[in-house]
Amino acid sequence: MNIVRVALDLPLPRLFDYLAPDSDESDIGRRVTVPFGKASRTGVIVAIAAASEHPDGKLKSVTAILRDMPALPAEWLALCEFCARYYKTPLGEVTSFALPPMLRRGKLPRIRKPAADAAVAPAPTVDALPPLLPAQQAAVEAIAGVDGFHTLLLHGVTGSGKTEVYLRAIDAVLAGGGQALMLVPEIALTPQLEGRVAARFPGAHIVCANSGMADAARARGFIEALTGRAQIVLGTRLAVFMPLPRLQLIVVDEEHDASFKQQEGLRYSARDVAIWRAHQLNIPIVLGSATPSLETFHHASPRPAPPSPGGDIGSPRSGSGSLDGPALGSTKGISFGARPTGGGTGRYQMLELPERAVAEAMPVVRIIDTRREKLQEGLSAALLAGLQLRLERGEQSLVFLNRRGYAPVLACPPCGWISRCQRCAANLVLHLADGRLRCHHCGFETRVPRACPDCGNVDLLPFGRGTQRLEAMLVERFPEARVLRIDRDSASTPKKWQALLATIHAGEADILVGTQMLAKGHDFPLLTLVGVVGADAALFAADFRAPERLFAQLMQVGGRSGRAALPGEVLIQTEYPTHPLYQA
């Protein structure tokens, strides 16, 4: 009697056995509907067995094995099993999460007839590509030269031509009949990027995958990947679970980005899972970033040379200390830059893109020591002068403050009351624009009290500074300037966000006040000054990744200034000017 072992979406770390007389090995990886309690559920068959540890008489029979789409491959099941083990999540919850909602429910999207693109694929790519820079060329060759599993870190600032390198590497994979998977952060999956990939591979079948897509489209993309029709899958973290029978290359762009880590349910890191998958498939994986995560940077830094007779620990590395791949430093033309000599593992290969592809100077960064200065509403004389100068020249400035609201807390100085959240351990942030106190952690909100709830004092004081307060101050200080605030409150919908971006691009704003929303992926040709205020808080935050994230944000926000013909300047206000983070 055949028995199928089914992974069901239940918070129980076990499989469920059902009788399925007509099943065979080819049903492993198929979806199956089964009775469960009074209800019916859909799961995935992960094994076929001849006997169950439960007596046969007690087993129920499957309702139906769904044979309307190809079985999920063994590699996909292995990936889910790894995640179940590693992230301590029942396998059924993992398989369920890894399937698009429609397939998870046992349904199937209407499949369009394969279009004519099958006939033209792999189609020739556009000709007339710009010649690669030497560092790009070296990176492309290093990736092409990889045989089997190898992790490469493409390290270069925004605009240094990383995407160009990914596209060349993907091109080579398509030419060989393979499939490529490119993971990007949530915020980076834009129509522009899709357009750039599609324009480069006009005949190729490209599938996008992200949680914002309509159910049917996502399920269709999944099936196209599974059947091998899709050649390139471009997606956010969940795309790491796309079944790809001919997968030959994985790219993780902005590998440090926090959105690759899911913070609820299956708490996976798509970057790490992607590396595991590449290892399992014995294929190369390229991680790209201007500000790699510390883990990645550590693995891409050389191992210290082993102490040798006649030498000491500080002697130069041998260049061949890697256990996990080709020797570091063996690829011609790649500069490793000045790396700390100690501490790395040398497991990844570092590929540096040291300059911007389109010649532009990097902005000048200046640290402003605010310890000895009386600030005006939080702004130093140097920053105020910088803003004034940009106004006179008709250029744009950005004041970066990664804290929305008016003030991070409302306080009663006489009695010591502060606005704490009733529902969690965070403080309530003062939003003066609509007279609310809001918890940015759990979402609780309430009206601003007229008087102190503890002592009745009516002189409650906002403590600290958020974007709304900074905006109010700048409006007062520079009455002739058009001040625009960009944060999650002012850009609460995609439509409002697009409108704000359009205003900036049209040159209809002089001073931008913004949070990290503004840091990524936008070119503002008129922007020549970035002022950073309130960054010190991240140095001492409870989250151990806060300084690392601050560094990435400063690099990104700094990169916003002076990207076109006008040179850029970055002024960072700090009370810790000698802190290694600012020095770096």
Residues lying near Zn ion in the complex (CB under 5 A): 412, 415, 417, 421, 423-424, 426, 439, 441-442, 444, 452, 454-455, 457
Binding-site partner at residue 132 among ligand ADP, Zn ion, none, CB < 5 to 8 Å by type: ligand ADP
Residue 542 C-beta: closest distance to Zn ion, Å: 15
- The item of Zn ion, ligand ADP, none sharing an interface with residue 313, based on CB under 5 to 8 Å by kind, is none
User: What dihedral angle (degrees, nearest 10) is formed by the CA atoms of 433, 439, 443, 445?
Assistant: -60
What is the DSSP secondary-structure string of 16-28?
EEEE-TT--GGGT
Q: If 0-12 CB within 10 Å is exposed, 13-18 middle and 19+ buried, where does residue 507 land?
A: middle
For residue 431, give the H/E element and its range.
strand 428-431
Q: How many CB atoms lie within 10 A of CB 333?
A: 11
- Token match 């990736």: residue? 143
CB 163 → ligand ADP: shortest distance, Å? Answer: 3
Shorter beta-carbon distance to ligand ADP: residue 164 or 569: 164
Give 311 or 413: the residue with its C-beta nearer to Zn ion. Answer: 413
Interacting partner of 161 out of Zn ion, ligand ADP, none (Cβ under 5 to 8 A depending on kind): ligand ADP
- Rounded to a whole number of angstroms, the minimum distance from the CB of residue 340 to ligand ADP is 24
442 binds, among ligand ADP, Zn ion, none (CB under 5 to 8 A by kind): Zn ion
Binding site for ligand ADP (CB under 6 A): 130, 132-133, 136, 156, 158-164, 357-358
Which among 580, 578, 534, 541 has a CA at the least distance from the CA of 557?
A: 534
C-alpha separations of 448 from 408, 426, 536 in Å: 13, 16, 28
Q: CB 191 → ligand ADP: shortest distance, Å?
A: 15
Per partner kind, with CB cut-offs from 5 to 8 A, the member of ligand ADP, Zn ion, none near residue 163 is ligand ADP
By CB atoms closer than 10 A (0-12, 13-18, 19+), residue 543 is: exposed
Q: Smallest gap, in angstroms, from Cβ of residue 568 to ligand ADP?
A: 16
The binder of 133, among Zn ion, ligand ADP, none, by C-beta within 5 to 8 A per type, is ligand ADP
Which of 154/538 has CB closer to ligand ADP? 154
- Encode burial over 287-307: b for 16+ CB neighbours within 10 A, e otherwise: bbbbbbbeebbbbbbbbbbee
Phi-psi region of 228 (alpha: psi -120 to 50; beta: other; left: phi over 0): left
- Please tell me the distance from the alpha carbon of residue 61 to that of residue 125, in angstroms, as a whole number: 52
Q: How far is the CB of 426 from Zn ion (least distance, A)?
A: 5
Report the partner that residue 270 touches, choosing among Zn ion, ligand ADP, none (CB closer than 5 to 8 A by kind).
Answer: none
Of 409 and 439, CB closest to Zn ion: 439
Considering CB distances under 5 to 8 angstroms, the limit depending on partner class, which of Zn ion, ligand ADP, none binds residue 457?
A: Zn ion
Angle at 423 between CA 421 and CA 427, to 5 degrees: 20
Smallest distance, Å, CB 556 to ligand ADP?
Answer: 11
Neighbour-count burial for 120-149, b at 16+ CB within 10 Å, e otherwise: eebeebeeeeeebbebbebbbbbbeebeeb
- Tell me whether residue 243 or residue 464 sits nearer to Zn ion (CB atom): 464
Nearer to Zn ion, 452 or 532 (CB): 452
* Residue closer to ligand ADP (CB basis): 126 or 381: 126
User: CB 436 → Zn ion: shortest distance, Å?
Assistant: 13
**Are 256 and 162 in contact, with CB atoms under 8 Å apart?**
no
- Shortest reach from residue 131's CB to ligand ADP, in Å: 6
**Residue 156 interacting entry, from Zn ion, ligand ADP, none, C-beta within 5 to 8 Å by type:** ligand ADP
The set of residues, in sequence order, having a beta carbon less than 8 Å from that of 141 and lying 6+ positions away, is 331
Q: What are phi and psi of 556, to 5 degrees?
A: -70, -45
